[in-house]
Structure 1
Amino acid sequence: MGSPFNDTDEPLTPAGRLFLRPELNQIIQCVVGLKNPVDVDAITSEVRNSIMVQHPRFTSLMVRDSRGREHWRKTEIDLKQHLIVIDQPVSTKSNDELAVNDYMADLSTDASGLSTDKPLWEIHLLTAHKCMLFRIHHALGDGVSLMSLLLACCRKVDDPDALPMVVTGSSTKRRKRTWWDWRVLWGILTMVWFNFIYVVEFILRSLWLCDRKTAITGGAGVELWPRKLATARFSLEDMKVVKKTVANGTINDVLFGIISSGISRYLDHRAPNALQDGFRVTGVAMVNLREQRGLQDVSNLMRGNSGTRWGNKFGIVLLPVFYQRSGGSDPLAYLKRAKVMIERKKQSVEAHFSYKIGDFVMSYLGAKLAGMLNYRILSNTTFTISNVLGPQEEIMIGTNPVTFLRVTLSGLPHALTMHMLSYAGKADMQILVAKDIIPDPEFLAKCFEDALLEMKEMAVATTNIEEKKNVTNIQRDT
């Protein structure tokens, strides 16, 4: 029976309604490691006085009217319902990271999810492991919105009165060219062609086109299977060294080069010689579509200023990985291939198309059809990858310094989902797997870590060779 409509109720956005569909019921889990023991009273006070409990999404119930349409309804917050204190170890494993990962993996297959009797978020205080776990329904916002909100609740370690710096990204200036420059014309033709290819593939993926089966393939229903979680750790400095080996390289280029190499390594391990070079598996990547990239000022997000907007504003793109046998190949070849592919994706409208078509279907054809199409895209691909920029300086919650930030997302029919979050010079990637399909995520994490280290070694060696050549040339010229 639907709840009577209230004039003060606010309807959910199409994206918010989509994430409440049973087949796409996704919960974001962000674990925050703390340097000192958890002071429950201090954290309760911090939450009570934070912008989080002033935010309309975090202080509203999700209700449905008599027609089944979802709305946000303002309510009073009872922190006792949202702060869950767990004093005992959550696992028999002595290692805190393994124990917390097991706990998050178990919650990822919790059929009950988050109760609609309260606003769709909660914080678990794992006192035995010195960490906090935020569980937030995806209908409340995307990674950029929620990370920006978390940042607004923290302070700098080296300046306790200051908010952490918000990184909005920067635009790249390009050399002006006249319209008759043949390179511009060729670029336009290339962009039109790839736009056509990518949009057609996106449509086909939502209908019937799917990846061939491999050792990491999931599919419809896999979101309900038991999970395991492992962490791959990267140094941002190492990633920056690697990205310099390609012109205008980015951290995302390096990340996808790592994913390509790591998946090839893992498939070699699971099924040696079973695949031919060039065999394709396809990933789904989330792309922030706000005009300002990176983290945002929460006050601007809540007001919708300067092209920003709270909520879910992202598109998806399909990212192909082409299997290559390990051994003997240039580790940087994965990066170079990733760079070419991602540059083509950036020039396309694929991400904007996916966002607009999803919005249109949700608004005019109904939530059931929109949910089915999105679910089919996920079921017909192999993995999910996302990268959220976190604070680049050390932060603290109250007076307790944060040692790490990690995030994952439950509710996807993929057997492999990867979410990277950077913090203070480090980047941790949570690897959530269906354990009956991928029983050894720790080994997969090592495949990714080793891929970066090999790329770095090759990058340093290449740089040293170039420097020696330059010195030789200078000496010869003089």
Structure 2
Amino acid sequence: MGNVEVHEEEEEEEEEAVSPSSSLMQQPKFNLYILALMGFQTAIDVPLFKLSLSQTLIHHPRFSSLLVNSNNGARRRMRWKRVRVDVDSHVFAPDLDPEMDGPDTFVEDFTADLSKTPMDRKKPLWEVYILNVPTADAAATAVFKIDHSVGDGASLISLVLACSRKISDPQALPEMPVQKKPRPLSVAAAGSPAGLRSPGIVKWALLLTWTLLLTIFHTVADGVAILATVAFVKDKKTPIKGSAGVEASPKRFVHRIVSLDDFKLVKTAMNVSINDVALAVTEAGVSRYLKSRYDNVDENGASKKKFNVRNGRMRIGIAFNLRPPPTIQDLAKIIKKEKKLDGKWGNQVGLALIPLNMNLQKDPLSCLNRAKATMERRKLSLSPKLVFIVIKALVKLFGAETAAAVTNRVFQNTTLAFSNVVGPQEEICLFGHHLSYIAPTVYGFPQALLIHYQSYSNKLVIALAADEKLIPNPHCLCDHLQESLQNLKEAVIKRGLVLV
């Protein structure tokens, strides 16, 4: 597979400015990379895989652009510059023995090693490694390594789906779950005197006023909490709490595939969201893991150390994109060169802090109710949007290095990171092959533990990025997370909250 042609008009396009959030992710203290493992149900045909990439992914501007520095007065600014793409310089398929011993360990070690090698800045910032060895979850694995400045997780998942087709209908794009929007309040008669006197309108006005007051209160409280975290507030030291420089420490990447139907069963029974269930699973799973780390037993069977983090602060740091990603249909048109990005791509990062309750309780549903209340409270805060505005201002006024140092402090002083990304509802064919699972994660993050949840068809993948020294047994943490989900499922069934 040789060079892929790029039209002359593309070569002559003006350079595009890098967004403040993307420039932030190029700094040493916040230099992030995405690692996404994609398992396939058959061995990967390398020529077909490359051909499919050349016909889809590299037509997206970010996957055919260099990140370059350009002079702008006294300050250098980074910009995207379109270039010709050589697929062979981005896709690598090492010669492997499909009958090797321990293929799962090999893939895990290979992925960990990828995080220790720098990316070639002289070409577009993405690479793919094809590992044609069967593992417990797939017949072959493709590992995508992408500089996070290329795009946020939700946008990249949408782009991947725009490159795919349904297994059930090879000509159709996959569909994403439709998020239900809250129904607007009915104020049909608000413009008339009778409407103004209506008890419903009075109730609506009181509700609106109360919601506004809560939004102001939570926004201010969250803003103060983030400022305090930057300045001096730190989480309690635990076996999973990283310290200064943790962003550069070696990481292990593991995942566990569980049933999305189990998440949906708990969600329906308790009238909560998938995100609420994921947060509850995270709290309970991490609590159990910490208990196992603290409660060391000596040769006489006596506990050397007791699990007690009630008096210590522990929080989850969440970084998420504030801009809705382009639709799969729009991205498909961009790939076909029928449409331009028009500024609808790129990282617009907001930050939020969520308290992590480590108080193990006998009733797993109490943890879920608490998680729901926590997420509902976060929805009433405008703090993430204000944080984005502040970060953008810091980049412009003091440079991306200063903004990166501030952002680094927020996550360095908290315990772990968490994200939940929605995937397609049914099986898809991606780059000419039947996809089995998607397990995305991030490294270069200033935390020792990142937990990502990624749905795909009827599966949900829990992907971990764990510091090798602080968390030497990440598979054990996966066990606890899976056990916590099972406990939630059994609790709702036992109480008769759902029919099975």
**TM-score (ref. length: structure 1):** 0.88
- For residues 261 and 88 of structure 1, what CA distance do their matches in structure 2 show? 39
- For residues 284 and 143 of structure 2, what CA distance do their matches in structure 1 show? 31
Judge conservation of contact 1:235–1:425 (CA < 8 Å) in 2. Answer: yes
Describe how 1:2-401 pairs up with structure 2 within 5 A.
Answer: 8-50=14-56, 52-66=57-71, 67-88=75-96, 94-96=102-104, 98-110=105-117, 112=118, 114-129=119-134, 130-167=140-177, 169-176=179-186, 178=201, 181-247=205-271, 249-272=272-295, 273-277=306-310, 279-291=312-324, 297-298=330-331, 303=340, 309-325=344-360, 329-401=362-434
Judge conservation of contact 1:124–1:133 (CA < 8 Å) in 2. Answer: yes
Q: Secondary structure at the match of 2:43?
A: coil
Q: Secondary structure at the match of 1:68?
A: strand
**Structure 1's 292 and 115: CA in aligned 2 closer, same or farther, altered over 3 A?**
closer
AA of the residue aligned to 1:107: L
CA displacement at 1:188 relative to structure 2: 2.9
- For residues 93 and 281 of structure 1, what CA distance do their matches in structure 2 show? 40
Tell me which residue corresponds to 2:300: none
Tell me which residue corresponds to 2:441: 408
Tell me which residue corresponds to 1:476: none
CA displacement at 1:325 relative to structure 2: 3.1
- For residues 243 and 99 of structure 2, what CA distance do their matches in structure 1 show? 29
Please, which moves more after superposition, 21-30 or 187-196? 187-196
- For residues 368 and 246 of structure 1, what CA distance do their matches in structure 2 show? 45
Q: Secondary structure at the match of 2:232?
A: coil
Please, which moves more after superposition, 290-299 or 151-160? 290-299
CA displacement at 1:179 relative to structure 2: 5.5
CA displacement at 1:278 relative to structure 2: 6.1
Structure 1 residue runs of 5 or longer lacking an equivalent are: 1-5, 468-478
**TM-score (ref. length: structure 2):** 0.85
Judge conservation of contact 1:277–1:324 (CA < 8 Å) in 2. Answer: yes
Deviations 1:171-199 (CA, angstroms, capped at 9, x unpaired): 22144463565444333333322221111
AA of the residue aligned to 2:268: K
Q: Secondary structure at the match of 2:496?
A: helix
Query: What percentage of aligned pairs have identical amino acids?
Result: 31
**Structure 1's 251 and 159: CA in aligned 2 closer, same or farther, altered over 3 A?**
same
Structure 2 residue runs of 5 or longer lacking an equivalent are: 1-11, 135-139, 187-199, 296-305
Judge conservation of contact 1:166–1:297 (CA < 8 Å) in 2. Answer: no
Tell me which residue corresponds to 1:474: none
- For residues 91 and 266 of structure 1, what CA distance do their matches in structure 2 show? 34
Q: Secondary structure at the match of 1:173?
A: coil
- For residues 152 and 219 of structure 1, what CA distance do their matches in structure 2 show? 39
Please, which moves more after superposition, 140-149 or 228-237? 228-237
Q: Secondary structure at the match of 1:218?
A: coil
- For residues 280 and 351 of structure 2, what CA distance do their matches in structure 1 show? 19
Please, which moves more after superposition, 338-347 or 232-241? 232-241
Moved over 6 A (4+): 292-296
Judge conservation of contact 1:101–1:230 (CA < 8 Å) in 2. Answer: yes
Deviations 1:117-172 (CA, angstroms, capped at 9, x unpaired): 10001111112341211111111100111111111111111111222124453422
- For residues 31 and 182 of structure 1, what CA distance do their matches in structure 2 show? 49
CA displacement at 1:210 relative to structure 2: 1.2
- For residues 20 and 292 of structure 1, what CA distance do their matches in structure 2 show? 21
Residue correspondences, number: 452
AA of the residue aligned to 1:201: A
Is 1:446 the equivalent of 2:479?
Answer: yes
**Structure 1's 276 and 225: CA in aligned 2 closer, same or farther, altered over 3 A?**
closer
CA displacement at 1:279 relative to structure 2: 3.9
Judge conservation of contact 2:246–2:448 (CA < 8 Å) in 1. Answer: yes
AA of the residue aligned to 1:37: A
Tell me which residue corresponds to 2:196: none
